[in-house]
Amino acid sequence: MAIFRYPNWRWPDVPGALEDFERARRQMDRLLSAFTGGSESVASSGVFPPLIVSEDEDKIYVEAEISGIKAEDLDISIVGRTLTISGERKPEEAQNVNYHRRERKWGSFRKALTLPEDVDTEAVRAECKNGVLRLVLPKPEQVKPRKITINGQ
Amino acid sequence: MADDLQIEEKKAVQATGESTRDIPVFVPAVDIYESENALTILADMPGVPIEKIDIDLDSDQLTIRGTVDQEEVKGKVIFKEFTYGDYYRQFSLSSDIDRAKIQASTKDGVLKLVLPKAEAAKPRKITVQST
Give me the tens of pLDDT residue by residue for chain A, a chain 153 residues long: 455 554 555 555 667 776 777 778 777 776 776 665 544 545 667 888 999 999 998 899 999 999 999 988 999 999 988 999 999 998 887 888 899 989 998 899 999 999 988 899 889 999 999 999 999 999 988 777 777 888 887
Please indicate whether, in this complex, the C-beta atoms of B109 and A46 are within 8 angstroms of each other.
Answer: no
Q: How many domains does chain A have?
A: 1
Say whether residue B102 is in contact with chain A using an 8 A CB cutoff.
no
Looking at the predicted complex, does its ipTM rise above 0.95? no
pLDDT attached to residue A3:
53
| Of residues A55, A59, A98, nearest to B33 (C-beta) | A98
Please indicate whether, in this complex, the C-beta atoms of A70 and B108 are within 8 angstroms of each other.
Answer: yes
Architecture of the domain spanning B22-72+80-119: Sandwich (2.60)
Is residue A123 in some structural domain?
yes
**Minimal CA separation from A149 to chain B, in Å:** 25
Q: What is the CATH number of the domain that holds A113?
A: 2.60.40.790
Is residue A96 in some structural domain?
no
Please indicate whether, in this complex, the C-beta atoms of A67 and B46 are within 8 angstroms of each other.
Answer: yes
Backbone angles phi, psi at B116, to 5 degrees: -70, 140
What does the pLDDT look like over B113-129, one tens digit per residue? 999 988 877 777 777 88
Is residue A65 in some structural domain?
yes
Residue of A nearest to B108 (CA): A131
N residues, chain A: 153
Say whether residue B106 is in contact with chain A using an 8 A CB cutoff.
yes
pLDDT attached to residue A43:
62
pLDDT attached to residue B52:
92
pLDDT attached to residue A67:
92
What does the pLDDT look like over B2-57, one tens digit per residue? 467 777 778 877 666 666 677 888 999 999 999 988 999 999 999 999 999 999 98
**Minimal CA separation from A137 to chain B, in Å:** 12
Domain region containing A114: 48-90+108-144
Say whether residue A99 is in contact with chain B using an 8 A CB cutoff.
yes
At B55, the amino acid letter reads I
Is residue A76 in some structural domain?
yes
CA–CA dist A106, A133 (Å, integer): 17
Please indicate whether, in this complex, the C-beta atoms of B47 and A116 are within 8 angstroms of each other.
Answer: no
